[in-house]
A and B are shown apart, each in its own frame.
Chain A
């Protein structure tokens, strides 16, 4: 029944996804069923195809956008627990660094995967990250750096976040970051690209 909706997500057809979501709601279908069997089922296929390099980044972004917009229609009809995002992630490029291509991709992909994302932008002071993470009761903080000089700010940033908030998980990424470096600075996780960042975020929620 929800195959057409699922396909609209896979093909990134935002208008169709919204139209079908509205139609199912008008027909009295359960919002949770529309979500699980249509939207999430579609994004699962997208994630899998991106992982196996069958789908390309712009296509994935379109799918994520279709998912997000359809979800906005669905949200008022879901109970608080049903409508809750998979988790809440604060995203930021580290202080001193203004590069955000990778960070923006991760933010978009996280939203498409059902996370609620608060994107603080670039050159973000640690105090702001801590403040917003506390205010939003964030589950995860994602920090990005492109430069070898600014990536070194990650260690003290993580230390300071941990001092104030021991519950939140911290994931790091960016061109010069390696898994070894992430382990060394005691990040909870590292992802080399946007898709793996989504998988990492899902794993971190279970920890």
Chain B
């Protein structure tokens, strides 16, 4: 997909990937998965090649292959051959841009962060959960704000927003219809080998609408999957393919696919601190295997390189993200996820999004293709400028200096004196100032008539008792 000047070599071979593919098919056909939904199991019972025992389902290999072949990935025009940053999503802890303190995010923060993300051309889901509005309105508001203030958020194959109940899904669907935005539904497998029952119910209720559906799973090494990385990846393949096969058989009015956001995800787990690990050396190796698999199955590559276990935008975060993103980019990745997240996805930080954006820009310039030409060798210029003279005043310097060198917005090249004169600021402070400036200067708004429709739908959601009740639990 991309023109490469530099590429990594090594990793999993084609023969090894063939073996993993065969093993995944074997597991689907002989071990199977649990599908805890009567209606869906009934639909599946109509097909040859589906073996059902209560809610335990096995698929014959040809059905899996058919589903893999039928999977369709709608890559938006703006992301073709471009570098894509997907900003992190769904956070309930946020570093306040004024105080630097951790707190719960509000609707106002959601607007600011969507504006910031749009100013940086990011894709993905809504960054934070507005905890100042009732639970049943949160997901609806997250879509509304994302669509009102951004071009790409919650609007392409890179979004993975929850729709926790059928009622909330219907509101988001209605909003998508009036704004011409993309609406999909994702079903999550719960490793090992089962599904989120509620997710299946919402998917089942949407089958008549002809909505694209995707499947994801996140097996955890040594906990919900075998301890070895390859074992966890194999389980991920098995679960992804089984889930996709189920969707392909039940959601026949639209296309189904493996979400590129977590394709072949296999999470590392730290047995010392009992935490998920992102940004570790092993996770980077996993990313390389994930890229190999995405190439093997022709699935768009989206890598989770912008995650770190660091709690602040510090050296730890910069090192993990910089190394991870560079290595993934050298292996062909151009789409990078989880921008702005800290603490393996427990915190959202606007400054961190600014920093990772800069890291990606930096790497883009490392991998920039060198144009080779007589003109650029500048033999004439070397001949013309003699000993004791300078190139600074040459027309060629004036003509080329902006194109030849990237000008960082954040990692600026001041000397010590200049840095002191500018206030001796830390990178966090620079990033904060830049974030505030971008939020203030952001101008994109959805068309006024569409905004009115969104307002109308949101107002009706506010009064909808059935929607409210769908989030209430029986007590």
| Mask of A97-131 contacts with B, CB within 8 angstroms, 1/0 | 01101000100000000000000000101110000
Are B190 and A99 interface neighbours, CB within 8 A?
yes
Which of the 9-residue segments A8-16, A36-44, A146-154 touches chain B?
A146-154
Are A95 and B197 interface neighbours, CB within 8 A?
no
Are A156 and B471 interface neighbours, CB within 8 A?
no
Are A148 and B92 interface neighbours, CB within 8 A?
yes
With known contacts A53-B272, A148-B90, A149-B162, A98–B197 Cβ distance under 8 A: yes
Q: Once bound together, how far apart are the Cα atoms of A101 and B192, in whole Å?
A: 11
Looking at the assembled complex, report how far the CB atom of B193 sits from the nearest CB atom of chain A, in whole angstroms. 12
A126: chain B residues within 8 A (beta carbon): 473-475
Tell me the nearest residue of chain B to A94, going by C-beta: B473
Q: Once bound together, how far apart are the Cα atoms of A160 and B475, in whole Å?
A: 6
Among A98, A149, A159, A194, the residue within 8 A (CB) of B475 is: A159
Residues of chain B in range 155-201 having any CB-CB distance to chain A below 8 Å: 162, 164, 190, 194, 196-198
B226: interface (CB < 8 Å) = no
Q: Once bound together, how far apart are the Cα atoms of A126 and B90, in whole Å?
A: 27
Q: Once bound together, how far apart are the Cα atoms of A126 and B473, in whole Å?
A: 9
B272: chain A residues within 8 A (beta carbon): 53, 56-57
Looking at the assembled complex, report how far the CB atom of B402 sits from the nearest CB atom of chain A, in whole angstroms. 46
Among B90, B194, B271, the residue within 8 A (CB) of A57 is: B271
A175: chain B residues within 8 A (beta carbon): 346
Are A95 and B474 interface neighbours, CB within 8 A?
yes
B449: interface (CB < 8 Å) = no
A83: interface (CB < 8 Å) = no
B457: interface (CB < 8 Å) = no
With most chain A CB atoms within 10 A of its CB, the pick from B194, B472, B474 is B474
Are A53 and B273 interface neighbours, CB within 8 A?
yes
Tell me the nearest residue of chain B to A130, going by C-beta: B475
- Would you call the interface of chain B mostly helix, strand, loop, or mixed? loop
Looking at the assembled complex, report how far the CB atom of A109 sits from the nearest CB atom of chain B, in whole angstroms. 10
A144: interface (CB < 8 Å) = no
Looking at the assembled complex, report how far the CB atom of B434 sits from the nearest CB atom of chain A, in whole angstroms. 29
With most chain A CB atoms within 10 A of its CB, the pick from B194, B220, B274 is B274
Among B220, B222, B274, the residue within 8 A (CB) of A193 is: B274
B87: interface (CB < 8 Å) = no
B355: interface (CB < 8 Å) = no
B271: chain A residues within 8 A (beta carbon): 56-58
Number of B residues contacting the other chain (C-beta, 8 Å)?
25
| Mask of A50-69 contacts with B, CB within 8 angstroms, 1/0 | 00010011100000000000
B280: interface (CB < 8 Å) = no
Q: Once bound together, how far apart are the Cα atoms of A56 and B224, in whole Å?
A: 17
| Mask of A18-56 contacts with B, CB within 8 angstroms, 1/0 | 000000000000000000000000000000000001001
B12: interface (CB < 8 Å) = no
Residues of chain A in range 160-207 having any CB-CB distance to chain B below 8 Å: 160, 175-176, 193-194
Are A101 and B223 interface neighbours, CB within 8 A?
yes
Are A148 and B129 interface neighbours, CB within 8 A?
yes
With most chain B CB atoms within 10 A of its CB, the pick from A153, A159, A194 is A153
Are B274 and A152 interface neighbours, CB within 8 A?
no
Among B196, B224, B472, the residue within 8 A (CB) of A101 is: B224
B135: chain A residues within 8 A (beta carbon): 149, 152
Q: Once bound together, how far apart are the Cα atoms of A193 and B276, in whole Å?
A: 12
Looking at the assembled complex, report how far the CB atom of A173 sits from the nearest CB atom of chain B, in whole angstroms. 12
B162: chain A residues within 8 A (beta carbon): 149
A96: interface (CB < 8 Å) = yes
A160: chain B residues within 8 A (beta carbon): 475
Among B190, B197, B474, the residue within 8 A (CB) of A125 is: B474
Are A149 and B164 interface neighbours, CB within 8 A?
yes
A176: chain B residues within 8 A (beta carbon): 92
Q: Once bound together, how far apart are the Cα atoms of A94 and B198, in whole Å?
A: 13
B129: chain A residues within 8 A (beta carbon): 148
A99: chain B residues within 8 A (beta carbon): 190
Looking at the assembled complex, report how far the CB atom of A175 sits from the nearest CB atom of chain B, in whole angstroms. 8
Tell me the nearest residue of chain B to A155, going by C-beta: B475
**Mind listing 29 A-B residue pairs with CB under 8 Å?**
A53-B273, A57-B271, A57-B272, A57-B274, A58-B222, A95-B474, A96-B473, A98-B190, A98-B194, A98-B196, A101-B224, A105-B274, A123-B197, A125-B474, A126-B474, A148-B90, A148-B92, A149-B135, A152-B471, A152-B473, A153-B473, A153-B475, A156-B475, A157-B475, A160-B475, A175-B346, A176-B92, A193-B274, A194-B274
A-binding residues in B (CB < 8 A): 90, 92, 129, 135, 162, 164, 190, 194, 196-198, 220, 222-224, 271-274, 346, 471-475
Across the A-B interface, the 6 shortest Cβ-Cβ residue pairs: A156-B475, A153-B473, A160-B475, A56-B271, A57-B271, A149-B164
